[in-house]
Amino acid sequence: MIIRAGCEKSAAYKSMLGQDSSDVEYLTDFSSKDKPWDSHRQLSERIADHYSQSPHEWQRKYAKRISECAPILEYGWVSDAETGEMQLRLYHAYLCRVRFCSCCQWRKSMKWKYRIYSVLPEIEKKYPGYRWVFLTLTVKDPSLKELKDCLGRMRAGWKNLQRYKDYPAVGAIRGLEITKDKDSNPHPHFHALLLVSPGYFSGKKYLNQKQWIALWRKALKIDYDPNVDVRSVKPKKGTEGENAAIRSAVAEALKYSVKSDELANDPDWLYQMTDILHGVRMVEVFGELRPFFRELEKEEDDLVHLEDDPEQSGNQGGEFFNWMTSKKRYGRKKKSIDAELAN
């Protein structure tokens, strides 16, 4: 819900309060874009419950941390610089930062995306005319017992790949994703955004899909052809179309490392992923792109403020929404009209 400044704020509140006779108002009544908080907090509760029953003592400590994650979200009203509309912006939240907490995994993924979006103009300025290639690299699905060794071979293969003279990128952003196949075996794969020179698609360094398969096979030192998907990030006409194409590729490359619903639905999967991926970096930056992300590596712990937003300087907080376990939503006791008009 967006409320304009001044008297329009009061009118909107009167209308909303008159429509609902209950004594509770929800975060989503004020800000529909914050709806993911509800679904992720629900998943986090289930994951915390699984951790509390883990056969591994060191994992059971995560249950308490996740159960105490984001119990209260503090927002503040901020005026949009362009429209003058008053919108809620997150001001403060306690986040547990457990890797597979659904709330924290979601926020970390968004942090990376916003950071990439923010540095794209800098990258384009330093590398004018350069293009992006979206690359997906897979291997044969291992068993859970084989997964840890498989990931080690994949990381070694990536290092080999970058050393080959045929490797065309000056820099790359690589994310690791592990999903379940139809037989419930892990399906590990890399998603990577490669920055290539302006003449790549018409020059000698261009690699078609068959050549990428051969190169990845060589890098992995295996005796079969792995599945590889490679696509150019094709900008549509106009700046907005170009930005949309890159944003779509970034979103695909930096999806959640392991899907939260799969973790919530399968305790054994959760325990195994927690053990196997302990200490593993899920997103990494390589080559000439690394300098653009040094700041993110330093600020990665800040999962509240995801992007540089000058409007946040006017955010004074003061609007609190509690996690209501019985309702599975963030909300609060409804304020009286008189109290709202006084603010």
DSSP string, 258-314: S-HHHHHH-HHHHHHHHHHTTT--SEEEEETTGGGGHHHHHHTT--S--S--GGGGG
281 shares a domain with 134: yes
81 shares a domain with 45: yes
Whole-number pLDDT of residue 111: 87
- What is the CB neighbour count within 10 angstroms for residue 204? 8
Determine, yes or no, domain membership for 139.
Answer: yes
Q: How far apart are CA 108 and CA 300, in angstroms?
A: 8
Whole-number pLDDT of residue 199: 92
Q: What is the DSSP letter of 128?
A: T
Q: How far apart are CA 95 and CA 251, in angstroms?
A: 23
Q: How far apart are CA 55 and CA 44, in angstroms?
A: 19
127 shares a domain with 55: no
Please tell me the least confidently modeled range out of 70-84, 108-122, 234-248.
234-248
Q: How far apart are CA 234 and CA 201, in angstroms?
A: 12
Whole-number pLDDT of residue 314: 66
Sorting pLDDT into bands at 50, 70 and 90, what band is 24? Answer: very high
Give the residue numbers spanning the domain of 156.
Answer: 106-303
Whole-number pLDDT of residue 87: 87
The answer to whether 78 and 87 are in contact (CB under 8 A) is: yes
Whole-number pLDDT of residue 325: 94
Round the CA-based radius of gyration of the chain to a whole number and report it.
Answer: 23
Determine, yes or no, domain membership for 76.
Answer: yes
204 shares a domain with 273: yes
Q: How far apart are CA 275 and CA 26, in angstroms?
A: 37
151 shares a domain with 67: no
Q: How far apart are CA 208 and CA 100, in angstroms?
A: 36
Sorting pLDDT into bands at 50, 70 and 90, what band is 242? Answer: low
56 shares a domain with 34: yes
Whole-number pLDDT of residue 293: 86
127 shares a domain with 67: no
226 shares a domain with 214: yes
36-56: average pLDDT: 97
Locate all alpha helices (DSSP H) within the chain, ordered by sequence: 7-19, 27-30, 36-52, 57-67, 102-126, 144-163, 209-220, 239-253, 260-265, 267-276, 294-299, 337-342
Instruction: For Cα atoms 132, 283, 309, give the angle at the middle one, nearest 5 degrees.
Output: 80
Q: What share of the chain is helix, strand, coil (3-state, %, to 5)?
A: 45, 20, 30
88 shares a domain with 225: no
121 shares a domain with 37: no
User: Mean pLDDT in the chain?
Assistant: 86
Whole-number pLDDT of residue 332: 96
Sign of the torsion angle spanned by Cα atoms 144, 149, 150, 155: positive
190 shares a domain with 332: no
Determine, yes or no, domain membership for 101.
Answer: no
Both tokens of 294, joined, read 């040094």
Q: How far apart are CA 44 and CA 23, in angstroms?
A: 26
Reported pTM:
0.84
The values of phi and psi at residue 277, to 5°, are -95, 5
Whole-number pLDDT of residue 7: 33
The answer to whether 132 and 194 are in contact (CB under 8 A) is: yes
Q: Residue 125 above 90 pLDDT?
A: yes
Both tokens of 83, joined, read 């429209």
Sign of the torsion angle spanned by Cα atoms 252, 119, 39, 79: negative
Of 274 and 115, the structure prediction assigns the larger pLDDT to 274
Domains identified in the chain, total number: 2
Sorting pLDDT into bands at 50, 70 and 90, what band is 240? Answer: low
Q: Residue 226 above 60 pLDDT?
A: yes
119-140: average pLDDT: 94
Both tokens of 155, joined, read 């990381």
Report how far Cα 227 is from the mean position of its chain's Cα atoms.
Answer: 25
Sign of the torsion angle spanned by Cα atoms 274, 279, 284, 287: negative
